Every structure is written in C-alpha cells, then in structure tokens.
Amino acid sequence: MRHSPSTMTTLSWREAVFNRRMLICVLTGFSSGLPLFVLISLISAWLRDGGVDLKEIGLLALVQFPYIWKFLWAPLCDRYGLPMGRRRTWMLVTQIALLLSIPAFGWLTPIPDIATIRWLAVAVALFSATQDIAIDAFRREILKDEEQGLGNVIHVNAYKIAGLVPGSLSLILADYLSWDTVYLITALFMLPGLLLTIIGSEPEFSSQTPSTLRQAVVDPFREFVQRKGWSGALTVLAFIFFYKLGDSMATALATPFYLDMGYSKTEIGVVAKHAGLWPNVAGGILGGIWMISLGIHRSLWIFGVLQALVILGFVWLATAGHTIAGLAAVIGAEAFGVGLGTAAFVAYIATTTNPAYTATQFALFTSLAATPRTLANAFTGFLVEGGDIKVGNVSLLHIEALGWERFYWLCFALTLPGMLLLFKVAPWNGGNKSERPARLEPQPDSQSPD
C-alpha cells in the first residue's frame, strides 16, 4: 500500500525521523556496508601486512564482480521466495552465509593461501551483492512515498558508518589480537541485521509480483530503453559508469597508500578512518538539503566539481611526509566532497528508476556504478608500481610505474569524462525538479507461470 505525498503534511518532523521504518533503514544500511568494507579495507590491510605486493592486492578487486553483475540474478530475487517472503528469504540466506564465510579469512595465511583467499572473497562478494538486491527492494517497499528521500539518506549513511568496523575497529584490534579473532569479531556485527530479518515482517508490495520469470527479466530493461531511447539509455549508462570513476580509483588503495606513507595501523584506524567518515556523512546530509534548492542537475555539476578538486589533496599528501594533521585534513576534505557527489548521484539514479521496476532497474544502475570500483580499481596497483599484466606466462601489457603522486593526478583527470556527460544527461538549466518517470505497472504476460 502506498501513501499520498500529501500525508507528509500530517507528519511532524519527529514522527518522520523517529519511527520504526527509519530504524530499519539504519540496520539494513549497516548490514549492506559491512561486507563490502571487509573486501575493500580489511582484506587489503591484512594482505599488505602479510607481505603481499600492491599489484596482487589491486587485482583482488576483481573478486567484486558480483556487484557489477547482480542485475543478472536480481529478477530471480523478484520472482522467487520461500513462505517467509521474497525479500526476507534472500536476506536471511545471504546474512547467514556472510556470518559464516567472513571468519574463514582468519584461518588462512596471505601469501601461501592467496588462491583460496581469492575464491573466498568471490563468495563473500556474491553473498553481499545478493543481500543488497533484497535489501534495496525491502527498503523501497517498507517506506512511504514521502519517506523515500530520508530513508535512503539514513541507509546510505549507515552503510558508510559500517565502514568503521572493518576499516577502523578491526585494524586497531589487529595490533593486539590474532587475525582469526579479528575476522570473527568483525563477522559478529552481521547479527543485528540478521535479527531484524528474523523478527521483521515482509512489506506489502506496491506492484504485482511478476507472474513469470520472463516478465521479471524482460520488462524492466524494455521499459528503460523505450522511455529513454537507445541513444539516451546508453548515454545515461555511460554517465553512471564515469561520474565516480576518478574518485573510486583514488580511494581504491587508500589503506596501502597510508601504510606506504609510514602511518601505523592504529593511526589509520583512529585518525584516517574517522577523519573520513564524519565529513562524508555530513557531506551526504548537507548535499541532500542543498539539492532541495539547487535541484538534482545543478547539484551534479557543483558537487561533481568539488568531488574532483579534493582528489588533489592526495597529490600533496604523497609528498608531504608523515603529518597526522595533514592526513586528517586531506581525507576529511576528500570525504566531504565525495559525500556531496554521492548524494546527488544517488538522487539521480532514483529519478531514473521506474517505481514499477525498482528492484531490477536499481540493481542494473548500482551494478554499473560499482564497475569502476571493481574493474578499473583492479589495475591501480599496476599503475602505482608498474609491471606486466599476464595471463599465465604470457605478458599482455607492460605498465610503467607512476608512483603515488602521478597516480593521483591521473585520478583527477579521470573525473572529466563524467563531468562532460552532464551536458547531455543533466544540463545546467534543464530539469532542476525531480524527473521521476511516471509509474507503470508490469504488463500481464501471456505465457503460463514458470
């Protein structure tokens, strides 16, 4: 059941913020963010601490391919589910799998077990990406129409806060405890989300359940192409890929970069991670507020420019030597700019999604947005240190080492394609109001249910 936007006038500010649905958004955001930050932050620090080189760590980003390809099996999550409900069934299965698989890293040793670590990381990424599909649909369906903006901001910020566990607490514990204990403690933070899934209730659906697998697969893609046209659809998809490419690459090897600059794991955990988190949260919240007056299109321009400029702080940090204050200032500025850019970017994706096909279309767009983090980031280690990209014993490409300073200049340059595409997808004076597509219900399928 959906509520009219006019309902917002009957809700007080306290009623809108302090209710059960917003608490659920906190827990779903935390559960979504924790596994990803294990893959991005904790594993890279563990491998570097264990003597693995940057090229190997960078290539490990390829195990995150499930985040790119999750739209392929998103229709299965829309179509099938056990009696406890489609959303909660997939949430429960993936959360249990993550609770069991994350501690398994602690039983391995970085260099001799690197092949096993890769496969285990792929499994964690697959469970995490599937959980994201179910949680995104669950969140969309429990929130009233007038709560969508606030609920998604809370979810995204809880997602970021989840990074404090593998990116801060776990690193600090690693200076005092064995890695197997660290991974076990980290995995236990999945329990609140698991408890929510068990005691929660399945949301009422705003649109009919797909009656066939064919309908669940075909209709979301057909609607998007028909609405935008092939040229417009490809332009939108290119923009989603490029808008955060430079920023994503700049932070891909952040923890190894700090270690190479001489910072201890405790300094990274206490200073770097906290200096980045709270400005990032503040940037997201302020970005959401500023978008009310700026509009989504102008926000994409202004926040995109700031998101690009703050990358230059890392260029300075690469030559500044060991400075805790400088580290905190650069990371704080970069995180604030990224928070602004992310707020506008997520809002744009929301307005591009048709409410009748939210689960699959949202999975498609977020999959594409994850592509730079997974594909391009895999080669960041080669860009910094240089080396040959090989398949077996065959060298496909030799890359000259850039070093950290020139690498960050490259990241800054790679922000330009996304900004240039704004001329097509979000012109400055075009569409400063929300442009959410009209609601279209799935069309009946003439074929018998699968």
Average pLDDT, the chain: 80
The stretch 168-179 carries a mean pLDDT of 90
Least Cα distance to 415 among 337, 329, 320 occurs for 337
Length of the chain: 450
- Taking 60 as the threshold, does the pLDDT of residue 450 lie above it? no
> Residue 435's Cα: distance from chain center in Å?
23
Least Cα distance to 136 among 235, 70, 186 occurs for 70
Q: What is the phi-psi region of residue 229: left when phi exceeds 0, alpha when psi lies from -120 to 50, beta otherwise?
A: left
Q: Is residue 444 part of a domain?
A: no
Residue 391: its H or E element: strand 387-391
Percent of the chain with pLDDT strictly greater than 90? 24
Q: Is residue 441 part of a domain?
A: no
Task: Please tell me the predicted confidence (pLDDT) of residue 438.
Answer: 47
Least Cα distance to 136 among 287, 343, 291, 350 occurs for 350
Q: Is residue 101 part of a domain?
A: yes
- Taking 90 as the threshold, does the pLDDT of residue 280 lie above it? no
**What stretches of 143-188 show up as alpha helix (H) in DSSP?**
148-161, 164, 170-174, 179-188
Return the amino acid letter for 299.
S
What is the Cα–Cα distance from 332 to 278, expressed in whole angstroms?
8
**Tens-place pLDDT, residues 134-170:** 898 888 777 765 565 567 777 888 888 898 899 889 9
Give the count of alpha carbons within 13 A of 105, CB side only.
31
> Residue 213's Cα: distance from chain center in Å?
27
Beta bridge partners of 398: 388
Return the amino acid letter for 19.
N
**Tens-place pLDDT, residues 37-89:** 999 889 988 998 888 887 788 777 778 788 888 888 888 887 777 777 778 88
Give residue 43's domain range. Answer: 19-425
**Tens-place pLDDT, residues 41-50:** 899 889 988 8
Write down the pTM of the prediction. Answer: 0.69
Q: Is residue 309 part of a domain?
A: yes
Strongest mean pLDDT among 92-101, 110-119, 219-228, 238-247: 92-101
Q: Is residue 299 part of a domain?
A: yes
- Taking 90 as the threshold, does the pLDDT of residue 263 lie above it? no
Q: What is the phi-psi region of residue 392: left when phi exceeds 0, alpha when psi lies from -120 to 50, beta otherwise?
A: left
Reduced to 3 states (helix: H, G, I; strand: E, B; else coil), residue 397 is strand
What is the Cα–Cα distance from 332 to 321, expressed in whole angstroms?
18
Q: Is residue 252 part of a domain?
A: yes
CB atoms closer than 10 angstroms to residue 70: 25
- Taking 90 as the threshold, does the pLDDT of residue 194 lie above it? yes
Q: How far apart are the first and last CA of the chain?
A: 26
Q: What confidence category does residue 218 fall into, taking pLDDT thresholds of 50, 70 and 90?
A: confident
Q: Is residue 437 part of a domain?
A: no
Give the count of alpha carbons within 13 A of 449, CB side only.
5
Task: Please tell me the predicted confidence (pLDDT) of residue 160.
Answer: 82
Between CA 115 and CA 122, with CA 120 as vertex, the angle to 5 degrees is 100
Overall domain count for the chain: 1
Task: Please tell me the predicted confidence (pLDDT) of residue 145.
Answer: 55
Is the separation of the CB atoms in 249 and 374 below 8 Å? no
Is the separation of the CB atoms in 210 and 81 below 8 Å? no
Q: What confidence category does residue 445 fall into, taking pLDDT thresholds of 50, 70 and 90?
A: very low
**Tens-place pLDDT, residues 375-418:** 666 778 888 887 777 666 767 677 778 888 899 999 999 999 99
Task: Please tell me the predicted confidence (pLDDT) of residue 4.
Answer: 40
Beta bridge partners of 390: 395
Task: Please tell me the predicted confidence (pLDDT) of residue 362.
Answer: 77
What is the Cα–Cα distance from 346 to 339, expressed in whole angstroms?
11
Q: Is residue 339 part of a domain?
A: yes
Least Cα distance to 95 among 189, 22, 3 occurs for 189
Instruction: Report the range of poorest mean pLDDT among 52-56, 156-160, 292-296, 424-428.
Output: 292-296
Query: How far from 222 is each of 67, 229, 261, CA to CA, in Å?
Result: 22, 10, 49
Q: What confidence category does residue 276 fall into, taking pLDDT thresholds of 50, 70 and 90?
A: confident
Instruction: Report the range of poorest mean pLDDT among 101-110, 134-143, 269-278.
Output: 269-278
- Taking 60 as the threshold, does the pLDDT of residue 337 lie above it? yes
Instruction: Report the range of poorest mean pLDDT among 64-68, 206-210, 358-362, 398-402.
Output: 206-210
- Taking 80 as the threshold, does the pLDDT of residue 226 lie above it? yes
Percent of the chain with pLDDT strictly greater than 70? 83
What's 400's domain CATH number?
Answer: 1.20.1250.20
Q: What confidence category does residue 446 fall into, taking pLDDT thresholds of 50, 70 and 90?
A: very low
